[in-house]
Amino acid sequence: MGARPDAPPWLKPLSTGLRVWALEPYYGGSHRHFLDGFVRASRHRFTIQGLPGRNWKWRMHGGALALARESLAHVREFESPQVLFASDMLDVATYMALARDVVASTPLILYMHENQLTYPLPPGVERDLGYGMKNITSALAADRVVFNSDFHRREFLTAVEALFEAVPDAPPAWVLEQLVIRSEVLHVGCDLRSLDESREAETGRWGDPSAGPLILWNQRWEYDKAPGDFFRALFTLQQEGVAFRVAVAGSNHGLPTAEFVEARRRLGERVVQWGRVESRREYASLLWAADVVVSTALHEFFGVSIVEAVYCGCRPVLPDRLSYPELLPRDAHARALYPEGGLVSALREAVRDAADSAGGPGMPPWSLDWQRSWVARYDWSGLVSRYDAMVEECWERGAKGEGCKG
């Protein structure tokens, strides 16, 4: 589609793809991993404007100030963006107001990794609705709002409706309708194919397989992942005399809590890994060596670490809630998802089946190809065309003066 003769620079297409500015106030952790993957896979030309991934509350308050200033300072003639791609950490309304000399009416896509209306809080902490309101106003200021799972989208919209039903007066009933119109779901792209490079790597460092199947917990060491539930399930199997090894490999910021200290002591020699695995190749080796991956999460809007483990052949033991039913095909739910209160029995069965598939009698071997097919669709090779098409459609509708809402 050609641009109008008098069109501003952001409307003029490039044969090599569109100019996209990625605005990321929290350029670290999973946000950075996702954005870097998109940039590598995309046919569009990205410029990343980001801030270090720390101090998330300040990033939501002040990130727009810093990024707007950066946009104004670095723009050059004919290098204005054609599309903006921002994360939920950005105060979009503030950014667009401050950077209007650069971005003008440039269409903006807001990607919702998480939201602050439904993110679970530690016991005794009261929710600050100011952060949730920033999510709402950012979504309204964006042209398109993309959620990483249908579960996340539904939960956010339900929370918005409940919030405005409780306001003291002048409830903005129109907000929910607008959010429904402009929102959609596009699952997180994952760098799964790179994990295949470590499939034949040396896995001996992860303990002796004769000591039992290797159970993996690769979640963040935080309250919303409910690590205590996982440890109590392991203690039960331990008391029953079930043979297993365990790897606790998630990220930990700060000193371990008492439940982690106790678990490390009680599990003793069964532990083959305790803490973050820094090397991507080494982490992939652990995924291929593990037999079972467990989640006890209270919060999961998508679940990249679970997808990666399932791709590498770990048998999933996941709660039948949050995003997990959406991640897996329906015909896998009975073997992969456990009901409320069913963690111990599901984990016991998974450990037994893992041992059997290693050569013992019992159930037939688990099909790795079948399991990998559940999540292979989340690799960037299969998803990037949808992301790229979304960016191009947003630009085209903006070029027609339609905006890219809806």
pLDDT at 5: 36
Q: What pLDDT is attached to residue 366?
A: 62
Cα(98)–Cα(92) distance, rounded to whole angstroms?
10
CA distance 115 to 146: 12
Domain ranges of the chain: 9-189+380-399, 193-378
Q: Could you tell me the end-to-end alpha-carbon distance of the chain, in angstroms, rounded to an integer?
A: 20
Kindly state the DSSP code that residue 35 receives in the 8-state scheme.
Answer: H
> pTM (2 decimals)?
0.91
pLDDT tens track, the chain, 406 positions: 333 334 444 444 445 799 999 999 999 999 999 999 999 999 999 999 999 999 999 999 999 999 999 999 877 655 789 999 999 999 999 999 999 999 988 999 999 999 999 998 888 899 999 999 999 999 999 999 999 999 999 999 999 999 999 999 998 989 999 999 999 999 999 999 999 998 876 667 899 999 999 999 999 999 999 999 999 999 999 999 999 999 999 888 777 899 999 999 999 999 999 999 989 999 999 999 999 999 999 999 999 999 999 999 999 999 999 999 999 999 999 999 999 999 999 999 999 988 765 444 444 456 788 899 999 999 999 999 999 999 999 999 876 666 655 4
Q: Residue 403: left if φ>0, alpha if ψ -120 to 50, beta else—which one?
A: left
Long-range contacts of 34-40 (CB under 8 A, 24+ apart): 34/113, 34/188, 34/189, 34/304, 35/87, 37/189, 37/190, 37/191, 37/380, 38/189, 38/380, 38/384, 38/387, 40/380
The CATH code that applies to domain 193-378 is: 3.40.50.2000
Say what the pLDDT of residue 203 is: 60
Q: Which amino acid is at 206?
A: W
Write out the CATH class of domain 9-189+380-399.
Answer: alpha beta
pLDDT, residue 352, reads: 92
pLDDT for residue 361: 44
User: Using CA atoms, how far apart are residues 131 and 311, in angstroms rounded to an integer?
Assistant: 35
Residue type, 196: D
Dihedral in degrees, nearest 10, Cα atoms 140, 78, 102, 182? 0
- Residue at token pair 């678990």: 263
Which pLDDT does position 1 carry in this prediction? Answer: 33
The residues that bridge with 110 in the sheet, in sequence order, are: 86, 145
Sign of CA dihedral 208, 210, 216, 221: negative
Question: What pLDDT was estimated at residue 12?
Answer: 45
For residue 325, give the 3-state DSSP assignment.
Answer: helix
